[in-house]
Amino acid sequence: MVRKTVKVLLVGEAAREHAIAEAICRSRLDPKLYAAMKLNNPGIASLCKITGGEVILGDYQNPEFVVETAKKHHVDFVFVGPEEPLFRGVSDELEKEGIPCIGAKRKPAELEMSKAFMRRLMWKHRIPGRLRFMAFSNVEDAIAYIKEYAESVALKPARQAGGKGVKVIADLQAYLTSEKTHVKEEHAKAIDEKYMKDYTDIEDRILIEERVEGPEYTLQTFTDGRTVKPLPLVQDNKNAFEMDIGPETGGMGSIAGKGMLLPFVTEEEYRRSVEIVKSCVRAVEKETGEKYKGIVSGQMMCTVSWGPTIIEFYSRLGDPEAVNVLPILETDLIEICEAIIEERLNKIKMKFKEVATVVKCIAPKGYPEERNLAKGHPVHINEETIKKRGCKVYYASTNLQPNGKIISGGSRLVEIFGTGKTIPEAGRKVEECIPYVWLEDGWGVFHRSDIGSEQLLEKRIEQANLIRAVYKYRAKKGLIGKTVEWIPKKGKIILET
């Protein structure tokens, strides 16, 4: 049977979308790639050109623009990379025009958009891996709560705000509580005035969650609303600098494999993580009446309270996490997309190359706190040499100019992907490619040389073993999902976690 060309419109322009674009273009179904982008990502632009598609620059967060573009080019379906277009109803508007979309509709996407909705959902449906939380619709109430209950908490914008504005404060030394309380109050104000400033689409403003600690990992999955198909687990590294020091970034690099597990996650923890994501997908449909179709990823942590625990949900693939897994996906991505659209994902067998992968991000100095300093520099990327060394470049915040120059956009420049028999082997390969990316005007770039190293991996394993021993002890005592306290003059209290 001869099939006609499959036309795909990809929305977004980060390294994640570059990896999606590449996986689409690997399809045996003669793909033609169209890309709706704000910045002209050189990697995606090149794939559009090769497949005979086109780059359409514009504001893809605007559903009208996406629908018009899709209609104009008669695409077979749209693949939405980032979350914000989903929150603004791109998927819903496309459906009205009969154009299928890989990406959740507005209501199911609330699983990511509203962190308060997500927590309420998990509590209502008694899904394991939930955390205690309080949601506030005004900053005064949040501050009053902070003042009265000084404790270890995570303060978050109640809505997904481009991954920014989360602050986790361990408040364990009574003698430092005054300073921690001050920072919590200031941050609650910052959430209200800065991070939530542009958002009026949900009622809650500030979320205060119990703070947990443990090794984190991302479980990315495809779903058609009935079946959930997991991708290999990935761990991202959020601190800007080596040894997990420095401010939070969107991620400085990530590790995976080989196989579906990470070296510090057990088979059983993996199985339970998948179960949690499945339960949430079912719960979303019950709650919203809409099937969750597209991508759902659990940003997870192994904690003493539960073992696998949900920190946040993504209605998209992670970045850089997508870059670990899409290049080793052996199943045809367009076939997967069609199966999602037609709700027959259960028939798809997901296959991945049996290798470990490491992704390292290179960012201009200034990222993440002073992005205006990181922006506007001419970028040099010696892609040929990196390829010769067996690694691949995925373009991130880079803007291809009409004159062929590439200019930095203020966020991470590129993500370099490499494989190996083990994570450290892949890490070493990627590390050797770092010198082939620089800024032509001499402005500095940085990356984390420790990502993928034996040393960092050992630290993660050590931490996971510690946490595992505690949650197993708690399980033995029947304490999973609850805390037993004894309060003088009040007596025994069982708190649900």
Partner 1 sequence: MGGVVGIYGFSKEWRMARFLYYSLLALQHRGQENCGIVTFNGESLVQYKAEGLVDQVFSKPETLENLPGWVGIGSVTSTPEEDPSKIQPVIVSEPVPVALCFDGKILNLKELAEKENLNEDTDAEFLAKLFSIELEKTGRPTEAMSNLMMKVKGAYSLIALTGKGEMVACRDRFGIKPLAIGSFGFDYGVVASESCVMDVIGADFKNDIQPGEMYFFDAYSIERKQVLESKPKFCAFEYVYYARPDSIVNGKSIYEVRMKIGEKLAEEHAVNKGEVVLGVPETAIPFAVAYSNKTKTPLGIGFVQTGRRIRSAIKPTEFERIVGVQLKLNPIRSAIAGKVTVLIDDSVVRGTTTKNTVNQMRNKMGAKEVHVRIGSPRLVAPCPFGTDVPEKDELIAANLKTEEVSKVVGADTFYWLSLKGLVEAIGIPRKNLCLGCFTGKYPLDGEKNG
Residues of this chain that bind partner 1 (CB under 8 A): 167-170, 172-173, 175-176, 178-179, 182-183, 186-187, 190, 238-248, 365-367, 369-370, 373, 444, 446
Instruction: Give the total residue count for the chain.
Output: 497
The residue (of 248 and 335) whose beta carbon lies closer to partner 1 is 248
Using a 10 angstrom Cβ sphere, with 0-12 exposed, 13-18 middle and 19 or more buried, the burial of residue 253 is: buried
Enumerate residues 6+ apart whose C-beta is below 8 A from 114. 158, 159, 160, 202, 204
CB of 193 to partner 1, least distance (A): 13
CB of 204 to partner 1, least distance (A): 23
The residue (of 175 and 486) whose beta carbon lies closer to partner 1 is 175
Q: Which two tokens stand for residue 73?
A: 């080019």
CB of 9 to partner 1, least distance (A): 36
Query: Are 139 and 155 within 8 A, CB to CB?
Result: no
CB of 371 to partner 1, least distance (A): 9
Which secondary structure element, helix H or strand E, spans residue 64, and what is its range? helix 63-72
Please, what is the angle between helix 139-148 and helix 177-190, to 10°?
170
CB of 150 to partner 1, least distance (A): 14
CB of 269 to partner 1, least distance (A): 23
If we measure between CA atoms, which residue out of 26, 340, 350 comes closest to residue 6? 26
CA count, 13 A, side-chain hemisphere, 389: 23
Say which DSSP state 321 is in. H
CB of 318 to partner 1, least distance (A): 18
The residue (of 363 and 400) whose beta carbon lies closer to partner 1 is 363
CB of 304 to partner 1, least distance (A): 17
Query: Are 229 and 350 within 8 A, CB to CB?
Result: yes
> How far is CA 372 from each of CA 198, 405, 408, 411, 447, rounded to the nearest angstrom?
20, 19, 10, 9, 18
The residue (of 131 and 274) whose beta carbon lies closer to partner 1 is 131
Using a 10 angstrom Cβ sphere, with 0-12 exposed, 13-18 middle and 19 or more buried, the burial of residue 152 is: middle
**Cα maximum dimension of the chain:** 79
Enumerate residues 6+ apart whose C-beta is below 8 A from 486. 492, 493
The residue (of 247 and 435) whose beta carbon lies closer to partner 1 is 247
Give the DSSP per-residue string, 178-194. HHHHHHHHHHHHHIIII
CB of 172 to partner 1, least distance (A): 6
In angstroms, how far is CA 230 from the centroid of its own chain? 14
CB of 457 to partner 1, least distance (A): 15
CB of 421 to partner 1, least distance (A): 28
**Alpha helices (runs of H) in 295-379, residue ranges in sequence order:** 321-325, 333-341, 371-374
CB of 182 to partner 1, least distance (A): 7
The residue (of 104 and 457) whose beta carbon lies closer to partner 1 is 457
The residue (of 144 and 243) whose beta carbon lies closer to partner 1 is 243
**Residue 327 to residue 139: CA distance in whole angstroms:** 44
The residue (of 273 and 309) whose beta carbon lies closer to partner 1 is 309
The residue (of 216 and 425) whose beta carbon lies closer to partner 1 is 216
Enumerate residues 6+ apart whose C-beta is below 8 A from 169. 152, 153, 154, 155, 180, 183, 184, 211
The residue (of 68 and 244) whose beta carbon lies closer to partner 1 is 244
**Residue 406 to residue 32: CA distance in whole angstroms:** 24
CA count, 13 A, side-chain hemisphere, 349: 1
The residue (of 178 and 200) whose beta carbon lies closer to partner 1 is 178
The residue (of 239 and 382) whose beta carbon lies closer to partner 1 is 239
